Chains A and B, each alone.
Chain A
Amino acid sequence: MRAIVVDDELLAMESMSRMLTRHGAEVVAAFQNPLEALNSELWCEVDAAFVDISMPGMNGIELAARLQSKAPLLHVVFVTAFDQYAVKAFEIAAADYLVKPVRAARLEATLERLRLHPRQAVAAAVQEAPPTLACMHDLGIDRGDGRVEEILWRTSKAKEMFAYLIYERDRAVPKEQLQDLLWPEVDADRAVANLHTTVYQIRQTLKSAGLPVHILYAGGRYRVDLGGVKLDCEQWEQALDRAVADMDEGRVFRLLLDGYRGDYLQSEAYLWAENERERLRIKWLQCASELASRLEQSGLPADAIRLYQEIQKRFPVWESSYLGLMRAHGQIGNVLEVKSQYAKLVRVLEEELGMQPERETTRWYEAWAASRSYTSE
């Protein structure tokens, strides 16, 4: 382990350095002046800083805060004669906190802890968590804060080609196929030139977006290397399958209502994406229909209503959502809503398809109306 010591008192600085050396650490430098320490070029090479808190000019906490932006992975251990600073110290993510005089056993424990979390491991962990590529609704980057950041494409062709390579992610796509897809009307020479420019633009865009995804070329074919980046649609589908297998209804409910950001590449309406879009939409629909009817049968009409409403929003002529809503509202005695759902179904089917409700739906509605007039008499 490589360390730097900062303490304005010469004796304390020397004593700390000696103790660290005795415990197997390599002291790369020791500073009495915090400003000088801050300006050192050595920070990127060390694992840990042992910093005194009360120093003139700049106290240790301020120094640590500024070091953190210089070397984000640095472990900072505060060394102080007063422990009232402890809370403040941990607010800026100190690795540890030593009270002077520092005892050998206590220092050994600190070093042990730092060895367990070496800088390299921290760096690896940071690199192991690349962002997620969003494909639901629109292409974008989710850096883990749940927000989808837009990718700024130079041209719509660059966006479409990247989206297509992502769609074909397990396959190397012949360049002729890309030319036919993107420039069907253009002669071959021109299409080749366009393709090269577009690949260049995609690479530039990926680089400036900080996305570790690469476009590879070999034997006349292009392939995308995701570099560990996950796709939101794949993650959603896997999570949903797992939740369904575990019969975790709460999780399925949340994945359907909050986890499904939108239809696959919906904003661009690419024709080649239509089948994948439809497949995911239908998967959503099947899960939602199944769960809604189960919620209804388990006496949870309010949750069932929430789900049926979402089904209806996404699939306006899917008749069972209307019937489901009528039944669920019937269960909680919401007479007006039962009637209005039936009226809405009749209207939507007439407007969209020139059709009438199915016999099953009408039969249920008539039976419900009849039982009501019977009880109210």
Chain B
Amino acid sequence: MAKIMIVDDAAFLRAMLKEILVQGGHEVITEASNGEEAIEKYKAFRPELVTMDITMPIMEGTQALQHIRKIDPEAKVIMCSALGQRQLILDAIRSGAKDFIVKPFQSGRVLEAVSRTMLG
């Protein structure tokens, strides 16, 4: 079980992801709807794992990922993207993302990525 922060600008996507994670036995301790908020909440809540949407207003995901990795070089971040955002995913992996999941979320894939990241 992991303490998780969900970052996505769409509330319905956060809700869907939360349901999958909670059903998989994880705990969602906080949520953020853009990159800036994610950085603030990361500092305040210190989640064990972050799911980070790539495309968001105000500050996009990869930028927030870089900030979070500066605050905590051990931070475990999984990127969420749409199919066909291969370049953005590669950039994020290079910036230290541990794994990625594709929207729309498939329960099995999400939980698989979470346990892989928590073990690794």
Contact = CB atoms under 8 A, between A and B. Distances in A.
B10 A275 contact: yes
A228 to B, nearest CB: 29
A357 B60 CA distance: 30
A278 B10 contact: yes
A120 to B, nearest CB: 46
A271 B109 CA distance: 26
B106 A278 contact: no
B20 interface: no
B19 to A, nearest CB: 12
Interface in B88-104: 102-104
B83 A274 contact: no
Contact of B83 (A271, A275, A317): A317
Contact of B104 (A275, A281, A352, A360): A281
B108 interface: yes
Contacts of B82: 278
A320 B106 CA distance: 9
Given A271-B55, A274-B55, A318 B104 contact: yes
A282 B8 CA distance: 16
A317 B102 contact: yes
A353 interface: yes
B29 to A, nearest CB: 24
B13 interface: yes
Contact of B109 (A278, A315, A352, A358): A358
Nearest to B10: A275
Contact of A316 (B9, B10, B83): B83
A282 B11 CA distance: 13
Please list the 9 inter-chain residue pairs (A to B) with the smallest Cβ-Cβ separation, ordered nearest first: A275-B10, A358-B108, A282-B104, A279-B12, A285-B104, A317-B83, A317-B102, A319-B106, A278-B10
22 contacts: A271-B55, A274-B55, A275-B10, A275-B12, A275-B13, A278-B10, A278-B82, A278-B103, A278-B104, A282-B104, A315-B104, A317-B83, A317-B102, A318-B104, A318-B106, A319-B106, A319-B108, A320-B106, A353-B102, A355-B109, A358-B108, A358-B112
Interface of A: 271, 274-275, 278-279, 281-282, 285, 315-320, 352-353, 355, 358, 360
